[in-house]
Amino acid sequence: MPQIIDGKAISAQIKEEVKARVAVYRERGAEITLAVVQVGNDPASSVYVGNKKKACAYVGIRSLSYELPEETTEEELLALIADLNSREDVHGILVQLPLPQQIDEHKVICAIDPSKDVDGFHPQNVGALCTGEEGFVSCTPAGIIQLLKRSGIVIEGRECVVIGRSNIVGKPMALLLLRENGTVTICHSKTKNLKETAKRADILVAAVGKPRMITADYVKEGAVVIDVGIHRNKDNKLCGDVDYESVAPLSAAITPVPGGVGPMTIAMLMYNCVEAFRFREQDR
């Protein structure tokens, strides 16, 4: 039987740690504040934003909510970000993606002050991750490193294969595994011999965005399998990018969906908010 990597328990542990740090700052009279911006009312985004605000309330972080109409212009959103950048009482800024098509996402990400970019998407933070400097790391891949470490899984010296190269998951994931001294291969839609490459992995991260694509044929016996995907099937049940039924029996450890990577993203967002405050204090 594989080790089931328990994202629910590990994310709860991280939230408790964050809550304790927030309490120390509160005793000193500091109020850590996250501005959460949503444009339009995409139902999935509303659920994510709601969960982020709930997590803030739980750990003691103040959240400021900005719900803008679907027809908001790029200029209007950029003006709001400029205002939030300048506010001393705002430590983190989160703009929920995706944005309506009239708004250039890259422009918006670049407009956020890198020291408030708790999503870790700003090129300056991505660059810091590349060069090994301090900065914010994208929450989902940062959460995966925590899952591995807190489950006692060694990364150093191991063959790590990441399937997917998005800016939000695949690329930062690969950089983090490299930072932990893994030997890293990144695969994508143009990769030849994907199955053979994936089968080399001691640690396989599936961030491909295709329901249950990663079957037993892609996985070496005894591999650690991390499933980033979240999909809903016809019966409204959640599944991942990994075909859990066929892969679990041959893996040494695996993340379930739900209850694996999913809960880690928000826990790491809370962690990044406290770090935003700490960075600010450090600079004073």
State the residue number with the nearest CB to ligand NDP.
166
CA within 13 Å, CB half, 179: 17
- Closest C-alpha among 61, 70, 133, 128 to residue 98: 70
CB of 281 to ligand NDP, least distance (A): 29
Residue 52 among the catalytic residues: yes
In the structure, how many helices (H) and strands (E) does the chain have?
10, 11
Residue 243 among the catalytic residues: no
Task: Give the range of 52-60, 66-74, 123-131, 204-212 binding ligand NDP by CB under 6 A.
Answer: 204-212
Q: Of 22, 194, 204, 205, which lies in the binding site for ligand NDP, with binding defined by CB under 6 A? A: 194
By CB under 6 A, the residues from 218 to 257 that bind ligand NDP are 228-230, 241
By CB under 6 A, the residues from 7 to 36 that bind ligand NDP are none
Identify which of residues 40 and 209 has a Cβ nearer to ligand NDP in the complex. 209
Q: How far is CA 6 from CA 10, 153, 182, 234, 257, in A?
A: 6, 13, 22, 26, 10
Task: Give the range of 113-121, 159-167, 218-226, 271-279 binding ligand NDP by CB under 6 A.
Answer: 159-167
Strands 33-39, 62-68: pairing kind: parallel
Token pair 């939030």 is found at 84
Tell me how far apart the alpha carbons of residues 137 and 120 are, in angstroms, rounded to a whole number: 5
By CB under 6 A, the residues from 81 to 140 that bind ligand NDP are 140
Task: Give the range of 10-18, 25-33, 124-132, 163-171 binding ligand NDP by CB under 6 A.
Answer: 163-171
CB of 25 to ligand NDP, least distance (A): 26
Q: Of 36, 68, 148, 163, which lies in the binding site for ligand NDP, with binding defined by CB under 6 A? A: 163
Residue 119 among the catalytic residues: yes
Q: Are 216 and 250 in contact (CB under 8 A)?
A: yes
Identify which of residues 131 and 193 has a Cβ nearer to ligand NDP in the complex. 193
- Closest C-alpha among 11, 100, 20 to residue 51: 11
Q: Of 262, 267, 274, 275, which lies in the binding site for ligand NDP, with binding defined by CB under 6 A? A: 262
Burial of 125 (0-12, 13-18, 19+ CB in 10 A): buried
Q: Of 63, 115, 251, 265, which lies in the binding site for ligand NDP, with binding defined by CB under 6 A? A: 265
Buried b (16+ CB within 10 A) or exposed e, 53-81: bebbeebbbbbbebebeeebebeebbebb
> Active-site positions?
52, 96, 119
Task: Enumerate binding residues for ligand NDP (CB under 6 A).
Answer: 140, 163-166, 168-170, 187-191, 194, 207-210, 228-230, 241, 261-262, 265
